[in-house]
Amino acid sequence: MPKITFIGAGSVVFAKNLIGDILQFPELADSTICLMDIDSQRLKVAEVMAKKMVACLNGNARIEATLDQRKAIQGADYVICTIQVGGYKPGTVIDFEIPKKYGVRQTIADTLGVGGVFRALRTIPVINSIARNIADVGNPGCLLLNYTNPMAMNCWAVAREVGIPHVGLCHSVQGTSQQLASFLNLPYKDITYKVAGINHMAFFMEFKYKGQDAYPLLFKLLDNPDFNQEKVRFEMMRRLGYFVTESSEHQSEYSPYFIHHGKKLIERFDIPLDEYIRRCESIIGTWEKAEADLLGGEGKISISPQSHEYGSFIIHSKETNTPRVIYGNVPNTNLITNLPVGSCVEVPCLVDAMGVQPTVFGSLPPQLAAMCQTNINVQSLTVEAALTKKREHIYHAVMLDPHTSSVLTLDKIWEMCDELISAHQKHGLLSSFHPTIKNTGRTVPASGIILASLHSTSAIRQGDTGKKEMLLKVENESSAAFSGTLNFKTQPGVKATESSLNFKVAAGKTFQKKMAFNLIAPLEQESVITITCPNNGVFCRKGFLSPRSVYDFSKQPASFELKLGGIPAVIGEYSILGSSLTFDFSVFDSDITPVKIAPWTGSCVELFFDNKEKSNVIQLFCVPDPKGKMPHVLKRDLSRIESAKIRQSSIAGGYRMQVQLPLSVVSDRKENSILFNSIFNLTALGDAHSGGRVELNVRQGLDENSRHYSELIWKD
């Protein structure tokens, strides 16, 4: 007789039903039932309960109980998994409460959504450990019957990492078929159906009464004002054409169409937010009474008739070679041809002495395959995160969740995931994951990132000589301390006071040091400083000594030309006229859109001025008019500068702006110079380009004080 092991036997109500189902088959009455749980008290209750059931049924089954998972699995023919990793507290509470802080409301949170993702992350390592024990010490061909959610993710992970015989079992297909029959007042014995899809999002492709299509009767219910059952599922049937297998509370959180649209819609569709929390608390609140019922008084215990759960039927069919059809969650080996191979699908399966044999369904209607794919995206990335320990895939899974992505921005998704990971790890529910590059969805390389770079700390003018300082930074984003040597190579005219430097930087820290470089010849153009490191794993970025451009208006106007994507974008000229600065811009932007609130989002010219090394930046906007009649110059607060004079005219492919700006608007006149930059915002460039931004002073290596400014010089 077979050995049937229950992992998670502390789920005693569910275990009671399954044990009762098994022992009511005469052919299985002599089985060995081995119970295993991590909760010794719950396990004791389950053991006493099971022994009373055997006595009540006058069977010869042998009941064993152990806290040792491997011992429980040793010699097993069937392993039934009913675990809940993390339990109600802290696991489920974390899954609900942290997302709620961010505005993500859930109903059940055990299959998809952010709750389903984190339930899977803490469950997959445990269920894969069970699967490996089955492979190691279970009887040959031992079959894993998994009842633990999230079903598809757990089964997908088992198939991918361990590959033992397994099937995921749910009662939504048989339960929903009974519901639909009752909605239509049809005898269930005369109902036949065909279902396919993924767990909790499989669809009734056929629903027949005595061989006739009963779907027209279901669609008539949509127009019945007195019918108010399963509102979300019937709404989805209205839109997709087929009825889905899992409850309305589940369906409302698998898509973006319901919860986040507000209270009125939630009330219209009777969506019970935080439903699983209420169910858990109700079960906990009645546990003492349930325990008394499970143990039975005076040796008596009630045993219900066989349920519709597939577990006992699979074991009976395999042991007795009795053919049956069940709906199982299995790897997609082209069973559903328009869903990804390797994903976990729910299809009809033949069960006999050969085991669970999935049948080929073919293609789902395209709209149903697309709905399933939105959930499969999340499933696949969650499994990837669990198996590879790559933290970024946690973010990716949640950002692709249909419900969460309808509520949160990407930065909030990242923030919420970080908080959830931290909370899980605090309670020992998640191990460590490979770190990501800060605020990104990319894993730090295995060796970590060691980045050495030089940064300007003071402005340099054309023709400067003498000592200049730069800041050396060595950033260590690896998980271990790092030491090494950096070598510096300069170009002619520049000499480093230190040609090499030894450094040591702790894990997660940054080493900083000011480095001196002597300009032994006037610096007229950008000079490159090359950094090298003989140590492997150090990324060295060049440093640049970059002089500011100096435009002397007292001699002649300063001209420039800028390109966008290799195409001429702006031709301009700066000059001085008396006590005013003058700007003449020809901007090749064929789309001038009026923008009242934020001019920088449309076509405009941004001007930046600074008297004292960026201590008081003045930002102005030269905004063209679509009709060419009323261009204007605005301050940062969007008030007009009435003293500015501005003219606009049309040119081929764009517009020309001539601006006369009093020096008093931008300069304190203490010196005959000012720092200056301009950015040109283009909404279109000809017919083949979609616009962009071009900046006057963008040159390789410019950063810190010297990055954004040229210097304008004039004489009074």
Q: Which residues are catalytic?
A: 171
N-to-C CA span, the chain? 107
Which residue type sits at 293?
D
Distance CA 310, CA 328 (A): 9
The continuous run of DSSP H or E covering 518 comes out as strand 510-523
Q: How far is CA 65 from CA 10, 72, 178, in A?
A: 11, 8, 35
For 138, phi and psi rounded to 5 degrees? Answer: -70, 160
Q: What's the chain's length in residues?
A: 716
Structure tokens at 18: 């399954």
Cα torsion 443, 445, 446, 447: sign: negative
Residue labelled with tokens 């019918």: 227
Tell how far CA 32 is from the center of its chain.
44
Distance CA 121, CA 119 (A): 6
Cis peptide before 599 (omega within 30 of 0): no
Cα torsion 321, 325, 330, 331: sign: positive
Hey, which bits of 359-477 come out as E strands? Answer: 450-456, 464-476
For 495, phi and psi rounded to 5 degrees? Answer: -130, 130
The continuous run of DSSP H or E covering 14 comes out as helix 12-23
3-state secondary structure 114-182: HHHHHHHHHHHHHHHHHHHHHHHHCCCCCEEEECCCCHHHHHHHHHHHCCCCEEECCCHHHHHHHHHHH
Strand pairing report for 673-682 and 604-610: antiparallel
Question: What angle is formed at CA 282 by the lines to CA 233 and CA 20, rounded to 5 degrees?
Answer: 80
Tell how far CA 712 is from the center of its chain.
49
Which residue type sits at 532?
T
Q: How far is CA 155 from CA 82, 400, 710, in A?
A: 13, 20, 62
- By three-state DSSP, how is residue 488 classified? strand
The candidate with the shortest Cα–Cα distance to 397, out of 124, 162, 156, 115, is: 115
Distance CA 5, CA 34 (A): 5
Structure tokens at 538: 């150090």
Distance CA 159, CA 383 (A): 11
Cα torsion 376, 276, 146, 191: sign: negative
- Burial class (CB within 10 angstroms; exposed 0-12, middle 13-18, buried 19+) of 526: middle
Strand pairing report for 538-540 and 450-456: parallel
For 261, phi and psi rounded to 5 degrees? Answer: -85, 0
